[in-house]
Amino acid sequence: RTRGGETRGSVLLQRTCTPARESCQSCMWAAIVSAGLALTSSGTVSTSPRLELRSALTSLLPPASGAPAFLRDDLEQAAQALEELEYVPATANFHQAAVAGEWSLRALTEPEHASAIDAFQMRVSGVTLVSVRQQIGSEGTLLASADFRLSDQGKELTGRYEVDGTLSLTPMVDSLDLRTSARRLNLPQVPTETALPQLMKLLLARLSPEFRADDGVRVGLQTTYMDDQLRIVRCTTGKLRGECAIFARCLQDEDL
């Protein structure tokens, strides 16, 4: 099947690899990369329209070692342009296998604030995100982590907020169901200037749906774009419906 002048590679991957085996991930991604490149008659490699759109988006994304950006203006338009290609997994099993690995959150829909005051407090607070990541196992286990810094009485505290969960198959091949199960906040000491409930409020106002979902409640996640480097996801259920998150695959400390 072709789209935008290039061959879709996910069907080929289903024939050449067993998705349940993590050892096959490297060959799967090699096949995707080769499927995303078009060879000209002279034997040189030319960039496909999809890769040009992806490059336009990634040029607007912040690095992995920093806070994710909120989706607005050019960044939001670039994400929508990729989504319109419908470049998504062809089967549910491949989808589950392909999401396995480590991903960094690069951009997201800004969570809704209860008031303008809450939005202002989020922007001027002493809480700074350092990195936000997902570690996804081949069977759908999820560990989401957010590393952050907090200014407290002239000192800088470094902390981490973690969420455990699962991503399970659904009848829709491009969708997975998220359920969270446990949460942990790790800090070297209890801050004195910011109460813990306020700290959590400030953190969650900057984080993607997997951090903010109610434990045990199903959250539908539709993959609207995915290749070997980039993944765009939108929520399809409940109060988080319509929210978007953009993840980049972590490749041995190499920034996208």
pLDDT for position 38: 32
Packing angle, helices 49-58 and 73-83, rounded to 10: 150
- What's the pTM? 0.80
- Digit-coded pLDDT (tens) for 143-200: 999 999 998 888 999 999 999 999 999 999 999 999 999 999 999 999 998 899 999 9
pLDDT reading at 221 higher than 50: yes
* Average pLDDT over every residue of 21-34: 44
CA nearest to 256, candidates 218, 215, 228: 228
Instruction: Centre a 10 Å sphere on the Cβ of residue 232 and count the other Cβ atoms it contains.
Output: 21
Residue 83, amino acid:
E
Question: 160: which residues sit within 8 A by CB, 6+ positions away?
Answer: 145, 146, 147, 148, 184, 185, 186
pLDDT reading at 127 higher than 60: yes
Q: Taking the domain 48-249, which CATH number applies?
A: 2.40.128
Give the C-alpha separation, 44 to 42, whole Å: 6
